[in-house]
């Protein structure tokens, strides 16, 4: 099955048509800037514009930077707070004419990495972290997702983890790789203490630079970079939508 996957990020909204069986991109990825303010009207208009670039009329999967319960937005860390309480799935379906499945963006990216990337074939408790504007998380036990974990909001030195060790903080505070790596290591050790994972998988754009900060990560848990890079969220959103609409049709 081919489906359109969309990933709503803090700086860009990306999409591509995905083969949900293989995880391969069928088209080139397209990207539009995330509007500011990232309120419902502007985000929806941008997503509809992206859908139109693909001339797409069928089901869609959308990864969203929020806790998502049955399509409803429950948090808003990198989007406008006007989203809270709105059913993003229904709003996008109505605006685009395409049945839309919405999933937490980190959960989507994690699903892709477990199915097609670095987590493929790995057993036990796996934690996928996507490091960008914030820190998103996806927790898997023997391949099954526990959704909406939001581990970026663990406190480190009085600050939320994503306000202490996200890539955006590295850039804003002009941290060297050693400075940032040591910060991120403290964050990982907090997660490790609480959840005792068997493996950390690090995603987001910063996964491409893993060799620059790997020496500063001092966890007992093995740490590997993600393979799918910035395509993971798009792939996972499409795959999640495929599963959702297959179940709905049963």
Give the pLDDT score at 77.
Answer: 77
Q: Does residue 114 form part of some domain?
A: no
Is the domain of 26 the same as that of 83? yes
Across the range 134-154, mean pLDDT stands at 95
Residue 191 has pLDDT above 70, yes or no: yes
CA distances from 71 to 10, 18, 123, 135 (A): 19, 21, 29, 21
Is the domain of 134 the same as that of 169? yes
Give the pLDDT score at 79.
Answer: 87
Higher pLDDT, 103 or 207: 103
Across the range 186-215, mean pLDDT stands at 96
Tally of structural domains, the chain: 2
Across the range 143-169, mean pLDDT stands at 95
Show the domain range for 37.
Answer: 2-107+231-249
Q: Are 226 and 113 in contact (CB under 8 A)?
A: yes
Is the domain of 242 the same as that of 222? no
Is the domain of 8 the same as that of 20? yes
Q: Does residue 147 form part of some domain?
A: yes
| Cβ neighbours of residue 206 closer than 8 Å, sequence gap 6 or more | 131, 132, 167, 213
Q: Provide the mean pLDDT of the chain.
A: 95
Give the pLDDT score at 249.
Answer: 75
For every residue of 103-169, DSSP letters joined together read EEHHHHHHHHHHHHSTTTT--SEEEEEEESSSEEEEEEETTEEE----GGGSEETTEEHHHHHSHHH
Q: What is the pTM of this model?
A: 0.94
Is the domain of 220 the same as that of 243? no
Give the pLDDT score at 70.
Answer: 94
Sign of CA dihedral 172, 226, 106, 9: positive
Is the domain of 140 the same as that of 216? yes
* CATH code, 164: 3.30.420.40
Q: Does residue 112 form part of some domain?
A: no
Is the domain of 146 the same as that of 175? yes
Give the pLDDT score at 11.
Answer: 87
Q: Does residue 36 form part of some domain?
A: yes
User: Which of the four pLDDT bands, split at 50, 70 and 90, describes residue 241?
Assistant: very high
Q: Does residue 116 form part of some domain?
A: no
Q: Does residue 172 form part of some domain?
A: yes
Task: For residue range 62-114, list pLDDT tens digits in order.
Answer: 999 999 999 999 998 778 999 999 999 999 999 999 999 999 999 999 999 99
Is the domain of 180 the same as that of 151? yes
Task: For residue range 5-36, list pLDDT tens digits in order.
Answer: 999 988 899 999 999 999 999 999 999 999 99
Give the pLDDT score at 250.
Answer: 67
């Amino acid at each position: 099955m081919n489906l359109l996957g969309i990933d709503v990020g803090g700086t860009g909204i990306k999409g591509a048509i995905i083969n949900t069986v293989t995880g391969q991109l069928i088209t080139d990825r397209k990207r539009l800037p995330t509007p500011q303010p990232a309120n419902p009207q502007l985000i929806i208009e941008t997503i509809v514009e992206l859908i139109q670039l693909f001339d797409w009329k069928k089901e869609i999967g959308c990864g969203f930077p929020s806790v998502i319960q049955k399509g409803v937005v429950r948090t808003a860390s990198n989007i406008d707070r006007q989203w809270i309480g709105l059913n993003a799935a229904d709003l996008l379906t109505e605006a685009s004419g395409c049945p839309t499945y919405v999933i937490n963006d980190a959960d989507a990216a994690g699903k892709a990495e477990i199915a097609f990337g670095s987590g493929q074939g790995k057993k036990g408790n796996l934690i996928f972290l996507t490091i960008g504007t914030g820190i998103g998380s996806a927790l898997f036990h023997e391949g099954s997702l526990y959704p909406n974990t939001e581990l970026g909001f663990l406190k480190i030195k009085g600050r939320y983890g994503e306000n202490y060790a996200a890539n955006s903080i590295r850039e804003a505070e002009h941290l060297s790789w050693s400075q940032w790596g040591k910060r991120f290591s403290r964050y990982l050790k907090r997660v490790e203490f609480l959840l005792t994972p068997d493996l950390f998988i690090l995603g987001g754009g910063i996964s491409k630079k893993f060799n620059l900060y790997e020496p500063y990560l001092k966890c007992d848990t093995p740490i590997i970079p993600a393979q799918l890079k910035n395509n993971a969220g798009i792939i996972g959103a499409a795959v999640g939508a495929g599963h959702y609409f297959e179940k709905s049709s049963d």
